[in-house]
Chains A and B, each alone.
Chain A
Amino acid sequence: MADAESPSESATNVNEPLDLVRLSLNETVFVKLRGDRELKGRLHAYDSHCNLVLGEVEETIYIFDDETEGADEPRTVTKNSEMLFVRGDSVVLISPQQ
């Protein structure tokens, strides 16, 4: 796998998918995780496995249970963390926030 911080890469070019993540360093990102969880926070660090370190994180958990069955929207729970490590294998999608 190519080195994500390779100095020969131009700073803005997207040559491989992880460049998109590299360009989001120190920016706010939206992360979709397995198990109906979403995170929004500042991307401090990442690696090629998509292990992430996020700061000032808001986590949203979508709960599909009997109470909300048939309802348009599932129940949500939000949690806030100052700093969070995310293991790469639970990552589904990463998107820079405009």
Chain B
Amino acid sequence: MASQLMPLELIDRCIGSRIQVIMKGDKEFSGILSGFDDFVNMVLEDVTEHDYDGTTTKLSKILLNGNNICMARHDVEAGCETIMD
């Protein structure tokens, strides 16, 4: 039986790779995950902010409040391979 992967372990495995963060509400961020804490506040680098109206904003390094994060995953649009195999 495969050992269980805790949610924060999954995020830990994403450190150093580009992830896509989907917020509650119509907003997404794509960036390279540098670190995070217990609240899933995230430090992201080389960030693109995708707004609901289609506008995008580039940001070099941000601290994203974990409060409004809905989901996070490897950024498939960046052509990143999956780490789970």
Direct contact of A and B (CB under 8 A): no
Residues of A within 8 A of B (CB): none
Chain B residues close to A by CB (< 8 Å): none
